[in-house]
Structure 1
Amino acid sequence: MSFILIAVLIDMIAIGLIVPVLPYMVGQFTDGAEAQARWFAIVTFTFGAANFVAAPVLGALSDRFGRRPVLLLGFSGLALSFFVTGLATALWMLVAVRVVAGAMQANAAIANAYVADISTPEQRAARMGLVGAMFGVGFILGPALGGVLGDIDVRLPFFAAGALAVANGLYGYFVLPESLPKARRRPFTWRGAHPLAAMQTLARNPGIGWLAAAIALATLAQFTMHSSWVLYTHFRFGWGPAEVGWSLFVVGLMSALVQGVLLRHLLKRFSPRRLAAWGLAMGAVTYAAFGAITEGWMMYVVIVVGTLLGGGATASLQSIVSNAADAERQGEVMGALASVNSLMAVLAPATAGPLLVLISHRQPDDWLIGLPFFACALLQAAAAVIAIRFFTARRRAAAQPA
């Protein structure tokens, strides 16, 4: 676990570095808030579209050749994308490099498959919570550092992130061991590696199908929030890269606390199903609160309270899905989930972009300026309803005599 946690941590620091500055990088090549919001949606859309197509292929390749080589490929893709983005001189370069980065990067899915390889079914929820905690720690350090560097030069975080991705590649090559024994590998087939086949794999499994739908809606809400965060806080509170970086620092800190410390204690008292249902419901309330508040300091209150109440939902859902999959198909299943997540990353800019354009000219005290987060609340509420109905049906079926 220590090897993969270090790799995930470095990876997420690198990704977190660019979060506070990418919309401002796009703004260097556009004129006005409306054009900035539209082109930022396009840039993020291209990454999600490429990752949607490539994620199941990379997941299936990891089942055939092992997790380590696919992780190394992802680190290389990130390094390339960061350096080229830092050197970009036109919008088409930003769009093109996001396509390459999306096609080569499936590190989150492969990391979860890696954890599944080395864990018993009983360990997976807590250990995937640790992976989530590393994501949180990465977002503690990455955005805060990215905001500081972005205040100096908006391109500087991209070069720092590229250097970290190179360091992670070297760490993976020389230190990170392989987790998938050759005896558990299976042949690669293109028929099962395209994204639609990957989602059919989830739908065919009675223990996964509806949960995948709930995960999809919750992920769409999360990615819509990510796509909206920087420009929304700029429009409403006048925040710049530094303020955005510190707010994401608190998001990461709370995520690491909940998933790395509190979750394993909660799992001793509550089942993953109960934690998932409660977390999804509280997430809907949190998103609505983000859209309703009127002062910048209130964002921090909502971050802390919302993460404490609902921060364990993602790890709990992932552990339930992982336990429902065969040991030989962890890479395929996690790749399929990554493909679903990537599809949501495609849809999120298409959701957030028009909403950001609508609010770009509104006054900060207009309640409609919270539209992006109200949309997130509706999506999260739908995910909670689906998951609760699924868990209730399974419990009733288990209670009936054979």
Structure 2
Amino acid sequence: MKRSPLTVIFITVFIDLVSFGIVIPLLPFYAQQFDASGTTIGLLLSVFSLMSFLFMPLWGRISDRYGRRPVLLVTIFCSVIGYIIFANAFALWLLFLARIMSGIGNANISVAQAYISDVTSAKERAKGMGLIGAAFGLGFVFGPLIGGVFSGEAFGAYRFAIPGWIAVGLSLINFFMAYFMLPESLAQTKQDEIKAHHLIDVRGLQRAIKKENLGLLMIFFFIVTIAFSSIYATFPLFIMEEPFRLTSSAMGWFFVEIGIVSVIIQGGLIGRLNHRFGEQRLISFGAIAMAIGFITFPLSAYLPIGGIVLLIISTALISMGSSCLAPTTMGLTSRLADVSEQGSILGIAQSFASLGRMIGPFIGGAAYDYAGHKSPYYFAFVLMAVAAVMAFILKSRDLKLDEAPVAMEPVAEV
């Protein structure tokens, strides 16, 4: 029986993100061992996104020209190198180097999205993109659990190395699984046609921004990503402050919560929600839910009783809003792009998101250092209020989407 390419790409992305989920919650604590400040931790997260910002459009363009499969294999191997460096880091600069390599490797999300766009119709695009979100969610369920278990004090000096080596092992399994099981999704005739285009499309960003509605959608996603990522560096530090005083292991459960909500929505409900309410309404709802989550998050610290409950509710709202926004926004982006530029345009869109993830942690970390541990969440709320206004503008427009399936050669059955 032939395997569905969506199933294989889902498993590939899932394993990639379990490895990512193992490492990312530990980074602030790992960096603190080298006396890193909140601003430095923000920069450590930002450099990862800088690499993603630089490489996402390039990987997307290369995948348009030479196929999705070889790009995915190369990028997974880059992640292996990054995790090896992470597991052996003895100084802060090695953590930065590890994040640089991992940023180059994890810049393959746009290629995975282009893979999905190759094998889905226009009407099913948002549901297909939801598989990426579900893989993210599951990665944040299992990854932080694994990282939390193996980073306990019982492991002493190896409490960060062991999770790193687990990530290495999973990434190697992922590489060989993709090599033997992942079919190419882009038809050879389409590759030959796209090879006539320039590999480095310096005007692609300008075309995307100038295209009606597509530019607004990308700027919207950029603002949302800044808001969401501004709490990356400070979330673990926030829950370590009064009145919560939680440990790194306890923090992992919040990532598990985020993952569970994401899996429920993006892995199961997004298709039905999109069919019932439409993409533009879902985007508006997601922006409002995230805004409410951000403003209630710091308020939880003022409650002597029930603060932890409000913290859990706020986390769920942020995850719920993000889970509605991310696949829907990328699905709309894909449908507004030309068929021959799926990888390139999705790469540019994800590059916008990477730029947001580069700016957000730095601003959040600096705000934490100089304006207090609640300030990143107030900042995120203001940005989401602006994004909500943009979402209602998009909702009021006729996007003139093509409902017909995208013409693709069938391939063997994220």
TM-score by length of 2: 0.88
Show CA shifts across 1:238-292 (max 9, x none). 2222111111001100110011122222122111111111111221111111121
Partner of 1:12: 17
Partner of 2:86: 85
Q: Distance in 2 between matches of 1:395 and 1:202?
A: 15
Partner of 1:148: 149
Contact between 2:286 and 2:320, CA under 8 Å: does it hold in 1? no
- CA 200–135 in structure 1, closer or farther in 2 if over 3 Å, else same: same
Partner of 1:238: 245
- CA 77–309 in structure 1, closer or farther in 2 if over 3 Å, else same: closer
Q: Which runs of 5+ in 1 are unaligned?
A: 360-367, 397-402
- CA 53–23 in structure 1, closer or farther in 2 if over 3 Å, else same: same
Q: Distance in 2 between matches of 1:92 and 1:390?
A: 43
- Larger deviation: 123-132 or 210-219? 123-132
Q: Distance in 1 between matches of 2:208 and 2:294?
A: 28
1:306 CA drift (Å): 4.7
1:315 is aligned, of 311, 324, 327, to 327
Q: Distance in 2 between matches of 1:302 and 1:6?
A: 30
Q: Equivalent residues in 2 for 1:2-401 (5 A)?
A: 2-30=7-35, 35-151=36-152, 152=155, 153-185=159-191, 186-187=194-195, 189-192=198-201, 197-236=203-242, 237-294=244-301, 295-308=307-320, 311-358=323-370, 369-394=373-398
Q: Distance in 2 between matches of 1:305 and 1:47?
A: 26
Q: Which secondary structure does the structure 1 equivalent of 2:346 belong to?
A: helix
- CA 201–239 in structure 1, closer or farther in 2 if over 3 Å, else same: farther
Q: Distance in 1 between matches of 2:223 and 2:164?
A: 30
Partner of 1:399: none
Q: Which secondary structure does the structure 1 equivalent of 2:349 belong to?
A: helix
RMSD: 1.8
Show CA shifts across 1:88-137 (max 9, x none). 11111122232233234312111111110101000001111122112101
Partner of 1:364: none
For 2:296, give the aligned amino acid.
Answer: A
Q: Distance in 2 between matches of 1:49 and 1:173?
A: 28
For 1:171, give the aligned amino acid.
Answer: M
- Larger deviation: 338-347 or 303-312? 303-312
Contact between 2:231 and 2:361, CA under 8 Å: does it hold in 1? no
Contact between 1:199 and 1:340, CA under 8 Å: does it hold in 2? no
- CA 59–223 in structure 1, closer or farther in 2 if over 3 Å, else same: same
Q: Distance in 2 between matches of 1:276 and 1:393?
A: 13
1:198 CA drift (Å): 4.2
Q: Distance in 1 between matches of 2:322 and 2:98?
A: 35
Q: Distance in 1 between matches of 2:251 and 2:204?
A: 36
Q: Distance in 1 between matches of 2:63 and 2:352?
A: 17
- CA 103–310 in structure 1, closer or farther in 2 if over 3 Å, else same: closer
- Larger deviation: 198-207 or 56-65? 198-207
Contact between 1:148 and 1:241, CA under 8 Å: does it hold in 2? no
For 1:52, give the aligned amino acid.
Answer: F
Q: Distance in 2 between matches of 1:145 and 1:216?
A: 31
For 1:378, give the aligned amino acid.
Answer: V
1:383 CA drift (Å): 1.4
Contact between 2:64 and 2:341, CA under 8 Å: does it hold in 1? yes
For 2:182, give the aligned amino acid.
Answer: L
Q: Distance in 1 between matches of 2:399 and 2:358?
A: 34
1:393 CA drift (Å): 3.6
Q: Which secondary structure does the structure 1 equivalent of 2:25 belong to?
A: coil
For 2:347, give the aligned amino acid.
Answer: G
1:40 CA drift (Å): 1.1
Q: Distance in 2 between matches of 1:36 and 1:157?
A: 23
Contact between 1:143 and 1:246, CA under 8 Å: does it hold in 2? yes
Partner of 1:362: none
1:39 CA drift (Å): 2.0
Q: Distance in 1 between matches of 2:315 and 2:162?
A: 28
Show CA shifts across 1:153-208 (max 9, x none). 1222111111111111111111111111111121252541x5xx443232022131
Q: Which secondary structure does the structure 2 equivalent of 1:206 belong to?
A: coil
- CA 324–309 in structure 1, closer or farther in 2 if over 3 Å, else same: closer
**TM superposition outliers: structure 1 runs of 4+ over 6 Å:** none
Q: Distance in 1 between matches of 2:281 and 2:222?
A: 19
For 2:10, give the aligned amino acid.
Answer: L
Contact between 1:214 and 1:387, CA under 8 Å: does it hold in 2? yes
- CA 45–311 in structure 1, closer or farther in 2 if over 3 Å, else same: closer
Q: Distance in 2 between matches of 1:267 and 1:191?
A: 34
Q: Distance in 1 between matches of 2:92 and 2:132?
A: 34
Q: Distance in 2 between matches of 1:222 and 1:349?
A: 9
Contact between 1:128 and 1:315, CA under 8 Å: does it hold in 2? yes
1:235 CA drift (Å): 2.5
Q: Distance in 2 between matches of 1:350 and 1:19?
A: 16
For 1:62, give the aligned amino acid.
Answer: S
Q: Distance in 1 between matches of 2:48 and 2:325?
A: 25
TM-score by length of 1: 0.90
